[in-house]
Chain A
Amino acid sequence: MADYAALKQAVISGKAAQVKELTQKALDEGRNPQEVLDQGLIPAMDIVGEKFSCHEFYIPEMLIAARAMQAGIGLLKPLLAAAGGKPRGKVVIGTVKGDLHDIGKNLVGLMLQGSGFEVVDLGADVKPERFVEAVKTSQPHFVMMSALLTTTMLGMKDTVEALKAANLRTAVKVAVGGAPVTQRFCDEIGADFYAADATGAVTKAKALLPA
């Protein structure tokens, strides 16, 4: 019998080896990979997100839990793909041009994956044209950009403008975040939403997904 309570606890505690073992055990018992994802891994990351929101968890715990979750996802991903399963949504993420800070961006990516999104991670120091190219090739629901510096956050505006110039602005929702970024800045540059942290980004992305 698949022990989803134990699987969830293993993710929350950041025990990657145990997550892998319990995920494999559930699959060996004939559980549907989607069920393992929906009843084991995703609810675990939801709890991690809640703990983060109430300052019971901080980024270290989030990262360790997200890595543990990835140990399970790694087993499920090929099976889900083979079964024709579709991700909840697709997101292109990156830290903007001139900015090498990627912790926040990585965390958003991990949390999105933990919530069933497919993530195309462009890395750090991403030029607007690379975002545009990724939107063309990956056709995501969202472009999410991160910046840590006041000097680099204007790269978000450049990317929004580049998407407009490529007639792609309405094809995706654009999200922005990072220490100096605010809702007002988001509004000024014409992005669709701002999130203060990784859990906020996931929550808003879920809410904005087409029905």
Chain B
Amino acid sequence: MPMTNRERILAVLDKRSPDRIPWIARLDLWYHARVAEGNLPARFRGMTLVEVGRALRTGNPARDGKVFKVCYEGMEVRNERAPGVARQRFVTPYGEVTFGRILSDKVSGTTDQGLPLEHPIHSVDDYNVLEYIAEHTYYEPCYDEYLAYETAVGGEGYPMVSCGDVPFHYFLLHLSGYNQAYFEMVDHAEEFEHLITVMEQVDRERLWPVVAESPARLILHGVHFDSQMTPPHMFRKYMTPYYKDFSALLHARGKSLVWHADDDSKDILAEVKDAGFDMSECFCTAPMVEVTLEEARAAWKGDVAIFGGVPSIILEPTFPEAEFEEYMRGVFRTIAPGDAFILGVADNVMPTSLIERVERVSDLVEQHGAYPVQPY
């Protein structure tokens, strides 16, 4: 009797051998765009996203689990939505700040994903507002909701619970924006250091215990770390201490720490391992970024499991069929015998991807993915 995807993922996390490598493709962007544009292939019409994944013989990424709700006290939070744009305005005794996101026209209305449009830091005064928000942020457990989600996912996947970001990177990504953030670190060094220290303290005191005591095992914390934007020296200074402590806490409770690795990690492979991460999810490889699967496997061995290996660009019509086949042959060659590996698309099957190639990967997994994987 073949293992379920859930059992395969758990085997990978426990450093046991699954019957074959798990294969889980994120189809949500492709699916929602096709539905929105009315060009979902006829054979998938009327199907849910999960049903399409099933028809394509990939597992369920199960990324919608939650173990807490974020609560704010002592402030007013206004959520505003206009076509293509979402804004969240925080009105505090120290002033107001706004987070704005622009929503992709392909997915607007179907997801809250979006690119930052407006960052809250415009002047040094905004640091006080953000410090107030951090100090008045609480995390309310919703473990029953998680358990219901885990039951709903069943054997088709294993829920990965998104639990935030390290304050330094949250500052880069959400509070200031990458460009300006580096200038802020120089121009307002004291305020920057103070703010991320406060945020980290709040995480340690309020977020970490809620996550650690939760029924979830796969804890996704941190996204888009990148060789260039979070370079090794910054990673070591601002991220490693946080993650060493957080991963130790999670490991003591049998949980696994995962980060979303859809940017280039060539120069931070050692830092990721040292920080205590157990898995790199949506792990993106050349030719989309510099790092190769070979380099990551050599650096991480079995210590950091890889969930990815299929860069979405090789699913595009512009990527020749023969090279796609050769690329996949290389993936199987590199991952053999298959330890610490979940095959996935990094980071998404895109709206323009050839869905036939997703099916082809499913064929390859069925033909060559049995453990121990033999190169073909």
Interface residues of A (CB under 8 A from B): 14, 55, 58-60, 63-64, 67, 100-103, 106, 149-151, 154, 179-180, 182, 185, 188
Can you report 23 residue pairs joining A to B where beta carbons are below 8 Å apart? A55-B267, A58-B228, A58-B229, A58-B231, A60-B182, A60-B185, A63-B182, A63-B183, A64-B183, A67-B183, A100-B117, A101-B115, A102-B179, A106-B179, A149-B350, A150-B352, A151-B350, A151-B351, A151-B352, A180-B313, A182-B287, A185-B318, A188-B318
State A106–B180 Cα separation when bound (angstroms).
12
State A14–B187 Cα separation when bound (angstroms).
11
Chain B min CB distance to A197 (Å): 9
Chain A min CB distance to B265 (Å): 13
Q: Which listed residue (B229, B288, B351) contacts A180, Cβ 8 A?
A: B288
B289 touches A179 (CB 8 A): yes
Given contacts A103-B179, A179-B288, A180-B313, contact A64 B352 (CB under 8 A): no
Given contacts A58-B227, A59-B229, A64-B186, contact A150 B316 (CB under 8 A): yes
Contact with A along B106-149 (1 / 0, CB 8 A): 10000000010100000000000000000000000000000000
CB-CB nearest in chain A for B181? A60
Query: Is there a chain A Cβ closer than 8 Å to B240's Cβ?
Result: no
CB-CB nearest in chain A for B114? A100
State A185–B319 Cα separation when bound (angstroms).
9
Chain B residues with CB under 8 A of A182: 287
Query: Is there a chain A Cβ closer than 8 Å to B312's Cβ?
Result: yes
Query: Is there a chain A Cβ closer than 8 Å to B178's Cβ?
Result: yes
CB-CB nearest in chain A for B187? A16
Contact with A along B355-366 (1 / 0, CB 8 A): 000000000000
Chain A residues with CB under 8 A of B229: 58-60, 103
* Beyond known contacts A63-B179, A103-B179: 6 more, CB 8 A cutoff: A60-B229, A150-B313, A150-B316, A151-B351, A179-B288, A179-B289
Query: Is there a chain A Cβ closer than 8 Å to B234's Cβ?
Result: yes
Query: Is there a chain A Cβ closer than 8 Å to B102's Cβ?
Result: yes
Chain A min CB distance to B118 (Å): 12
CB-CB nearest in chain B for A125? B102
Chain A residues with CB under 8 A of B352: 150-151, 154
Which among B102, B179, B264, B352 has the greatest number of chain A C-beta atoms within 10 A? B179
Chain B residues with CB under 8 A of A149: 350
Chain A min CB distance to B186 (Å): 6
9 tightest CB-CB pairs across the interface, nearest first? A58-B231, A60-B182, A59-B228, A150-B313, A100-B115, A58-B228, A180-B313, A63-B182, A150-B350
Chain B min CB distance to A23 (Å): 19
Chain A residues with CB under 8 A of B316: 150
State A101–B262 Cα separation when bound (angstroms).
15
State A188–B352 Cα separation when bound (angstroms).
17
Per the 8 Å Cβ criterion, residues 319-376 of B in contact with A are 350-352
Chain A residues with CB under 8 A of B318: 154, 185, 188
Chain B min CB distance to A151 (Å): 5
Chain A residues with CB under 8 A of B267: 55, 58
Contact with A along B161-179 (1 / 0, CB 8 A): 0000000000000000011
Chain A residues with CB under 8 A of B102: 100
Chain A min CB distance to B39 (Å): 15
Which among B178, B228, B289, B351 has the greatest number of chain A C-beta atoms within 10 A? B228
State A175–B117 Cα separation when bound (angstroms).
27
B231 touches A60 (CB 8 A): yes
Per the 8 Å Cβ criterion, residues 206-256 of B in contact with A are 227-229, 231, 234
State A101–B116 Cα separation when bound (angstroms).
10
Chain A residues with CB under 8 A of B115: 100-101
Chain A min CB distance to B91 (Å): 27
Per the 8 Å Cβ criterion, residues 265-291 of B in contact with A are 267, 287-289
CB-CB nearest in chain A for B288? A180
Chain B min CB distance to A187 (Å): 11
Chain A min CB distance to B83 (Å): 16
Chain B min CB distance to A100 (Å): 5
CB-CB nearest in chain A for B323? A184
Chain A min CB distance to B193 (Å): 15
Chain B residues with CB under 8 A of A64: 182-183, 186
Chain B residues with CB under 8 A of A58: 227-229, 231, 267
